[in-house]
Amino acid sequence: MGHPTRGSVDTLASVVWISGASSGIGEELARTVPDEGARVIGISRRAPRAVEHLAADLSDPASWRLVGASFDRELAAFQGGRVVFIHAAGTIEPLGFAGEVDNERYAANVMLNSAAPQVLGHLFLAAARHLAVDRHLVMITSGAARSVYAGWSSYGAGKAAIDQWVRDVGAEQDRRGGARVLAVAPGTVDTPMQALLRAVADDDFPQRQRFLDLHADRRLADPTEVARRIWRLLDGGLDNGSVVDLRQIDR
Ligand SMILES: NC(=O)c1ccc[n+]([C@@H]2O[C@H](COP(=O)([O-])OP(=O)(O)OC[C@H]3O[C@@H](n4cnc5c(N)ncnc54)[C@H](OP(=O)(O)O)[C@@H]3O)[C@@H](O)[C@H]2O)c1
């Protein structure tokens, strides 16, 4: 990884945006980018460790314009290998029941988990539309899109929104010969988000014990391995608009 030297040795470098690259799965995705010499831009509030930082609070719609401007700037005259945007930013907070948690934090969750992926995905596709190179848009989703978890209403709803967005937009891109669009549920992964789940009160998250057990039994997936498997999914074989669960695919 590293910054490209425009017009010289790195003119074929890919450019990769990863939201949520400051922690957990996003951080490991940033560390394991397979494209030699890729320019990697991490989008988050805290600075990522090893890649460029685009500082943005993605629960604030004003920040989406900054991200869109980055897509436009880098892709206007892009001549590299491929372009990738992985949206891994997400939050489980505020953990608790609708009607009981803080109003502002609930609204921020909805903006980050439901609205930001759709708008940022749209902005990426618009900026990359003129390109003939491989374009990949990957949304990190969750089994919570389909299963009921009391205490996660806006999180689960956000992931369900991502899944349907990916199905629809994948079908659109297929018609246009455009980007490859994919949603990946990573399984239960050993990240700070999981630590938050274990720390909350049972009353706000009645299934907490299940996550305590997964952790105690060492059944949480390793984020580095999860990141490598997500990268491998970009090599092909999945229909455009696929929504997949890493636990159910064998590569
Ligand atoms: N871990 C699991 O078991 C699991 C299971 C299913 C799905 N997922 C999904 O996987 C993705 C990554 O989760 P993780 O477990 O790696 O969580 P994590 O360690 O808590 O990381 C979350 C990332 O999202 C970013 N983020 C949170 N709020 C943000 C905001 N307002 N603006 C910009 N960035 C924000 C954080 O960056 P800053 O705090 O620096 O802003 C951080 O980089 C999420 O979409 C999550 O829903 C995780």
Q: Is residue 217 included in any domain, yes or no?
A: no
Domain that residue 240 falls in: 15-186+222-245
pTM of the model: 0.96
**Can you read off the two tokens belonging to residue 173?**
């891109």
Q: How many domains does the chain have?
A: 1
Average pLDDT over the chain, rounded to an integer? 94
Q: Which residues are within 8 A (CB) of 102 and not within 5 positions of it... i.e. 6 or more apart? A: 94
Instruction: Report pLDDT digits (tens) over 162-215.
Output: 999 999 999 999 999 999 999 999 999 999 999 999 999 999 999 999 999 999
Where would I find the H helices in 90-179?
A: 103-110, 116-128, 153-176
Q: Is residue 58 included in any domain, yes or no?
A: yes
Q: How far is the CA of 78 from the centre of ligand 1 (A)?
A: 29
| Phi, psi dihedral angles at 156 (to 5 degrees) | -60, -40
pLDDT at 78: 95
Question: What CATH number does the domain containing 129 carry?
Answer: 3.40.50.720
Q: Is residue 231 included in any domain, yes or no?
A: yes
Instruction: Report pLDDT digits (tens) over 42-68.
Output: 999 999 998 999 999 999 999 999 999
Q: Is residue 9 included in any domain, yes or no?
A: no
Q: Is residue 69 included in any domain, yes or no?
A: yes
Q: How far is the CA of 197 from the centre of ligand 1 (A)?
A: 13
| Atom 44 of ligand 1: nearest residue by CA position | 90
Q: How far is the CA of 22 from the centre of ligand 1 (A)?
A: 9
Q: Is residue 214 included in any domain, yes or no?
A: no
Q: What residues line ligand 1, using a CB cutoff of 6 Å?
A: 20, 22-26, 44-46, 56-59, 88-91, 112, 140, 142, 185-186, 188-189, 191-194
Q: Is residue 121 included in any domain, yes or no?
A: yes
Q: Is residue 64 included in any domain, yes or no?
A: yes
Instruction: Report pLDDT digits (tens) over 78-117.
Output: 999 899 999 999 999 999 999 999 999 999 999 999 999 9
Q: How far is the CA of 146 from the centre of ligand 1 (A)?
A: 19
